[in-house]
Amino acid sequence: MNNIKIVISILCLGLMLGACSRSSRDADNTLDAAAPAQVTDTVVYSGGPIITVNDDQPDAAAVAVRAGLIIAVGTEDEVLAAAGTGANRINLKGNTLVPGLIDAHGHLTFTAMNQGSVNLSSPPVGTAETIEDIVNLLTARLGDADASGWLTGWGYDDSLLADQRHPTREDLDKVSTEVPIVLRHVSGHLAACNSKCLEVAGIDADTPDPQGGIIRRDDAGKADGVLEETAMWMVFAKLPAVTPEQLLGLLVPTQEFYARHGITTVQDGALGPNELGILERAAAENMLYLDVTAFPYMQTVDASHGAGDAESTQPAYPQYSATYNNNFRIAGVKLVLDGSPQGKTAWLTKPYLHPPHGQDENYVGYATMEDDVVLQHVVDAYEHGMPLQAHANGDAAADQLITAVRAANDKVGEEKRRTVMIHAQTLREDQQDAMQELGMIPSYFSAHTFYWGDWHRDSVFGVERASRISPLKTSVDRGMVFTTHNDTPIVPPDMMRLLWASVNRVTRSGKILGEAQRIDPLNALKSITIHAAYQYFEEDSKGSIEVGKRADLTILGDNPLTVDPMTIKDIAVLETIKDGKTVYSKDW
């Protein structure tokens, strides 16, 4: 996922997210929607299960919070004594208190910008089940292109369409041959264009494939409208830029979208200088109420020049911040080494079960960068003291990253850098061993087992390899720290479905994909709490319910450790509390 400029409709996001307003709760648990969120003097939570995710104190009867920090955890008598007289008591009414949930990988600004695009997702996220549905959805929104000159769509998924293929130039020309139309694949790694879009981008039969990308072509050699990886940027460079005011206007309701799912820390991974500047402005104007960790895309910065160096033609290398400034910090940098398995652009060591259009039986996907370029980026990050996250879906890409990290350590010196491999979908056991040796952290897109599990088994990998995607259990068995994520907006930030997927590994068709890689609910919960905090170097301040940590808390309608594992996805988020403030609540 990279930086993308997309036309925005603010009204669209308001309709989508307007149901979830921030609110405060008084002592008797009644909701006052009109009252601003406030930090009470001292609040004591009790009356339900409390999962601390602290191995030294795994559960408690009560928790006390004051001035945004946890001041006591223990028995009710102990906590009330620490809270003092007059504490505001919150009765959990049998509901479950857990640490605030942490987004280990995703894209805040891209999620916001996507709201102006036509939703072309298949159920349960959208309604598109055929290419005809896509044509009809776009035709109904054709008038929205008047102001910008472009019509954009998001989320189509060839693996779920009855047609089992991507929309082509000919399909989209049925909507319009005058208005440029571009659709982004649900993976974020492919796009589909109509003829006018290709014309504006300057793509024709003679246009060569760019490094790290493919322009798909029909039998006559003409571009068929489907663009892979870096080829997409030939189109995205032509899209109208999102204005700062538009994006700023979307950040508050987009944060509500995350808070509704119990999330207190959000990532914006692989953003460009424009989006980075807007987030910095949002922080300066106190518009962020969830913590936002930013990871600028490395290809958009110049590692050879410092801040303010007039000789550089690129933005200066970003400056790492270990602390938040108004809920915002630059937490590292991001690389993208390959594509997506569901889009069949991930870089593998063994061929795809069924290769994509135009490829032979030996097709294994491809890298986005050469080995020496990857190594230089890793060295640059380490020399600048920047934590590094690298997108690597295929095991060949994983090999490339592991090799680069080892070589960079030899050159720069070994430190506890916690380099993160994003997605790590096809990680082999020997690679898990190497990552553990190097102190690397896999962040698994384990929601894939539900959303694309059937596709991976039947079309992408075959049964054996598909059964090992997101290999959580072998990570647990090794004692590895790992995280899990939704990669929003690729899929919604539904943390209970993510937890459910990690525990059950059930596909859309109801089949279990890789029973041997299932994990227990507690380890799954750790992957979105304390382990995610560790990934961000924040384990001393968040990720578990412990004295002295920030009062980032989530109240759930049931206990994910004790319910029937198949019902975890149905657990409701009742309240989200950030630094002691209620930022989302529903009647409970």
Q: How far is CA 117 from CA 114, 185, 248, 249, in A?
A: 5, 12, 17, 16
Domain region containing 154: 130-236
> Does a structural domain hold residue 95?
no
Q: What is the pLDDT of residue 146?
A: 54
Residue 124: cis peptide before it, omega within 30 degrees of 0:
yes
Domain boundary among 474, 501, 519: 519
Largest CA distance in the chain: 81
Q: What is the pLDDT of residue 124?
A: 83
Rounded to two decimals, what is the model's pTM? Answer: 0.85
What are the tokens at 274? 């424009």
Q: What is the pLDDT of residue 246?
A: 86
> Does a structural domain hold residue 8?
no
> Does a structural domain hold residue 540?
no
Q: How far is CA 466 from CA 194, 283, 292, 346, 394, in A?
A: 33, 42, 33, 14, 12
**Count of the separate structural domains present in the chain:** 2
> CA 463 to CA 481: how far, in whole Å?
27
368 and 513, same domain (yes or no): yes
> CA 243 to CA 241: how far, in whole Å?
6
Q: What is the pLDDT of residue 6?
A: 33
* Termini Cα distance of the chain: 37
Q: What is the pLDDT of residue 404?
A: 98
Q: What is the pLDDT of residue 147?
A: 61
CATH of the domain at 483: 3.20.20.140
Domain boundary among 519, 544, 560: 519
DSSP string, 383-424: HTT--EEEEE-SHHHHHHHHHHHHHHHHHH-------EEEE-
> Does a structural domain hold residue 188?
yes
DSSP string, 457-469: IIIIS-HHHHTTS
206 and 342, same domain (yes or no): no
* Cα 55 versus chain centre, distance: 27
219 and 338, same domain (yes or no): no
User: What SS3 state is found at 46?
Assistant: strand
CATH of the domain at 155: 3.10.310.70
Q: What is the pLDDT of residue 244?
A: 87
Specify whether the CB–CB gap between 73 and 52 falls below 8 A.
yes
Q: What is the pLDDT of residue 34?
A: 31
> Does a structural domain hold residue 138?
yes
Q: What is the mean pLDDT of each run of 10 residues along the chain (588 residues)?
A: 33 33 36 36 96 96 98 97 94 98 96 86 91 96 76 91 95 95 90 95 94 92 93 90 86 95 96 91 97 92 54 73 97 96 95 93 96 96 96 98 98 93 98 98 97 96 98 98 96 97 97 98 98 98 98 98 98 98 95
Domain boundary among 208, 236, 264: 236
> Does a structural domain hold residue 75?
no
Q: What is the pLDDT of residue 15?
A: 29
Q: Which residues of 11-38 are buried (b: 16+ CB within 10 A; e: fewer)?
A: ebbeeebeebebbbbeeebebeeeeebe
> Does a structural domain hold residue 377?
yes
> CA 46 to CA 341: how far, in whole Å?
45
Q: What is the pLDDT of residue 189?
A: 87
Q: What is the pLDDT of residue 313?
A: 59
Q: What is the 3-state secondary structure (H, E, C) of 371-386?
A: HHHHHHHHHHHHHCCC
381 and 486, same domain (yes or no): yes
Q: What is the pLDDT of residue 301?
A: 74
DSSP string, 278-309: HHHHHHHTT---SEEEEEEBGGGSBTTS-TT-
Q: What is the pLDDT of residue 18?
A: 35
393 and 502, same domain (yes or no): yes
> CA 440 to CA 416: how far, in whole Å?
9
369 and 491, same domain (yes or no): yes
> Does a structural domain hold residue 357?
yes
225 and 347, same domain (yes or no): no
User: What SS3 state is found at 31?
Assistant: strand
Phi, psi of 524 (to 5 degrees): -65, -40
